[in-house]
Amino acid sequence: AQSVAQPEDQVNVAEGNPLTVKCTYSVSGNPYLFWYVQYPNRGLQFLLKYITGDNLVKGSYGFEAEFNKSQTSFHLKKPSALVSDSALYFCAVRAGDSNYQLIWGAGTKLIIKP
Amino acid sequence: EADIYQTPRYLVIGTGKKITLECSQTMGHDKMYWYQQDPGMELHLIHYSYGVNSTEKGDLSSESTVSRIRTEHFPLTLESARPSHTSQYLCASSDPLQGAHNEKLFFGSGTQLSVL
């Protein structure tokens, strides 16, 4: 069955340090991969997506994600964290075996400490 | 910023009441979606529409119904609310012309529903 796993409920990072939020997926066929962010009291916002091509995808607010087909992973990264990056981050995947509906991870709470 | 609006933002009602959650978008998107999200959990698709007069049920069984009479409007109705319906409801839209199956979703701010 199709699934998305975000193995960490919460990630704590000091401001200025690099951050990684992990995501692995299980689908058949070629996946379309997405990251969304949910700030407190605001709607979900699109960050970036992988369709095909270069495995390193750049998105909004300085975030990037690396697609690794052999490890079926799509980890979100940022070289230098800001306090304002604190939010809930969701990984999602679309593929043919889910009729191209988005399958969502459970979310990872990112806390950036000053 | 996305031009997709949900009302009300918060709703507390008693069991058995009929409610309609409103969702409107001004972007002319053909595709619209309703998701249910419990705190700290993944989103579950409950309804979607690919255009006017087109509605489908999602993966999560739901006692709600939707309609799509106009492109910009996609309301969700609960005929008889129960405490098990307490959750956050998120509306979203997307433009299929941005890409086949890889277009991004635009979300509203959500409706937090509490059924007593």
Q: How far apart are CA A38 and CA A87, in angstroms?
A: 6
Q: How far apart are CA B58 and CA B107, in angstroms?
A: 17
Only one residue has tokens 């996609």, namely B74
Closest CA to A49 of A58, A40, A41: A58
Using DSSP bridges, classify how beta strands A108-113 and A10-14 pair: parallel, antiparallel or unpaired: parallel
Q: CB burial class (10 A; 0-12, 13-18, 19+) of residue B6?
A: buried
Pick from B44, B99, B108: CB nearest A43? B108
Mean per-residue pLDDT of chain A:
92
Interchain proximity A107–B104, CB inside 8 Å: no
pLDDT above 80: residue A98: no
Under 8 Å between Cβ of B40 and A106: yes
Set of chain A residues whose Cβ sits within 8 Å of the Cβ of B44: 104
The answer to whether A44 contacts chain B (CB < 8 Å) is yes
pLDDT tens-place string over residues A6-53: 999 999 999 999 999 999 999 888 889 999 999 887 889 999 999 888
The Cα angle at residue B48 between residues A35 and A64, in degrees rounded to 5: 10
Pick from A42, A94, A104: CB nearest B43? A104
Please identify among residues 22-61 of chain B the ones whose CB lies closer than 8 Å to any CB of chain A. Answer: 40-45, 48, 58-59
Mean pLDDT of B32-57: 92
pLDDT above 60: residue B1: no
Set of chain B residues whose Cβ sits within 8 Å of the Cβ of A111: none
| DSSP tag of B72 | T
Interchain proximity B43–A9, CB inside 8 Å: no
Using DSSP bridges, classify how beta strands B4-7 and A103-104 pair: parallel, antiparallel or unpaired: unpaired
How many angstroms from the chain centroid is the CA of residue A15?
Answer: 19
pLDDT value of residue B2: 58
